[in-house]
A and B are shown apart, each in its own frame.
Chain A
Amino acid sequence: MLADWTYIGIFILVALFVPAIAITFAAILSPRVPGTLKQSAYECGMESVGKSWIQYKSQYYIFALVFLVFDVEIVFLYPFAIAYNQLTLFAVLEVILFLLILVAGLVYIWRKGELEWA
């Protein structure tokens, strides 16, 4: 039991050590040519326009709700797809029922006009 933890301890030490070595070597070996672009903080994506402290329309919650329909569907469909071979007919019917309930949600949203982009 304790021996297992020793391995984990060694692993943590090695894990801390490896990047430290890499960074040290890079610092010693690399040439130093600083530039404004290089020294700016690294961010991916587009530069943001305007301030981030703005108010969002609370009506966007509807998109979150619509998203939920598909989200829940995917979460359950993956395990279902994997276990499909071993399932009984009853279980398959159950999943179909589950999908139908979600589709009912989609039909409801659709009919209410929430899928229109306006």
Chain B
Amino acid sequence: MTINDLNTILPLVVLAGWSVVVLLADLWIPKDRKGWTAALSAVGLVVVLGLTLARGGTVQKAFFGTVLVDGFALYLDIIFLVGGLAGIALAYDYLKRMELERGEYYPLLLIAISGMMLMTYANDLIIVFLALELLSLPLYIMAGFARFNLQSEEAALKYFLLGSFASGLVLYGVALLFGASGHTDLPGLVNTMRAGTGNQALFLFGAALLLVGFSFKTGIVPFHMWMPDVYQGAPSPATAFMSVGAKAAGFAALMRVFVTVFPSLSDDLTPILWALAAITMVVGNVLAISQKNIKRLLAYSSIAQSGYLLMAFVPYANAEVSSDSIAAMLFYLLAYTLTTFGAWAVIIQMEQQERRGLEVADYAGLGKRHPWLGLAMTIFMLSFTGVPLTLGFWGKFYLFSTAVEGGFVGLALIGLLTSVVSAFYYLRVVVVMYMQPGDPPVKQNRWVNLTALLAAAVVVGLAFIPGSVLDLALQAVLQLQ
């Protein structure tokens, strides 16, 4: 290790170091001033965001090639860091209101983000695993943050058990790949694959295990069982953060590993990916229809979104289409991030003590009593559905069109049909908000409000310039060797 190596991953070093500093500083911050911890964490995130942007997307390797920084990492890091800021904005008032306020929440959030950033840098399977654990462990704790609440405890335990099981599968996959090729570094694995040396059966088995492990993390059917319970039980800001962060990091790992290393296994893997994407879209959307609790509804919606995102991987072996489809996926990930944080910002303002205010029926009258919040929620629901004039529409448009380009018309059709199905439950929220009488109690907070309105503005605003966002995503992908 040299100074140069550290300099390459400077944003990550600063973030990890800062999380320890905040953790210690929090010890001397009095109980009623935890806003300071939140502010310190937010300042750290802003500084790291600045460092990340200043470094730009030039390709740099460090630590003997195990770490790779490029445009792809830059794109995702911006999503993670902005997501972290949104996570803090959503958490501060909520934690105080629900009497969960403990300073550890914010350092844990920073550590989770360090793990996510490390995941985007990973150029070695060991680093992938390390990053996976670094981002998962804080999320387990955050899921159980309302520890006097049984549901929250259950969520944390479920998430921990299934999450560690998934980590075990990933590790076993890594071991098999190492056994097949003698390499854990991605370039080494790529070379072995190209040369055709190495045990093909082991390769396939290892790749399948990695796929299963990451499917657990990203919530792809049939590995999604934990998601509704965990999303419902965890404190809402933690749910919002993990539904974006953990998912994006899981897909980042899939992109880094699958697209670069396994193209020659596509004969076997493409049908599997096709089937997984199709089932995930169908199951997620159909099960969401019968949900009455908004947190569960968004959990199933999040499963369905995983299906759409996975769709981009299906043509991954086709070099002409794959960069387009991965760029479409990065684009969709941005739309998903903004929409999810926005929707959760509204949910957090609606949630009352003891988990009241979480039924869809509780949203009656929101549109008339609080027109801005109602409008924002409407925009998010439309964006999830994929209605034009929102970012979600362009996301789905690019995803489906690249799927057709890659020759998977059937999959695009399933995506289209399930989107129509999803309109039913997304629009029901809108209908309840505007057409049913009621006066929901709303706990307004300026930071949460700001998150909701800013997200709504960006979701609509960027929908007018989708081309330039897609260009950014394409640039990020082109450097993904």
Contacts and interface: CB of A to CB of B under 8 A. Distances in A.
A38 interface: no
Interface in A5-61: none
Interface residues of B, number: 8
Interface in B1-52: 1-3, 20, 23-24, 27-28
A107 B24 contact: yes
Contact of B27 (A90, A94, A111): A111
Contacts of A90: 1-3
B23 A108 contact: yes
From DSSP, what is the main secondary structure of chain B's interface residues? helix
Contacts of A104: 20, 23-24
Given A90-B1, A90-B2, A94-B1, A101 B20 contact: yes
Interface in A42-87: none
Nearest to A91: B1
Q: Which of B2, B20, B28 has the most CB of A within 10 A?
A: B20
Nearest to A101: B20
A104 B1 CA distance: 23
Contacts of A101: 20
B1 A108 contact: no
A112 B104 CA distance: 12
A59 to B, nearest CB: 13
Q: Which of A104, A107, A108, A112 has the most CB of B within 10 A?
A: A108
Interface of A: 90, 94, 101, 104, 107-108, 111-112
Given A104-B20, A104-B24, A107-B27, 12 more contacts: A90-B1, A90-B2, A90-B3, A94-B1, A104-B23, A107-B24, A108-B23, A108-B24, A108-B27, A111-B27, A111-B28, A112-B27
16 contacts: A90-B1, A90-B2, A90-B3, A94-B1, A101-B20, A104-B20, A104-B23, A104-B24, A107-B24, A107-B27, A108-B23, A108-B24, A108-B27, A111-B27, A111-B28, A112-B27
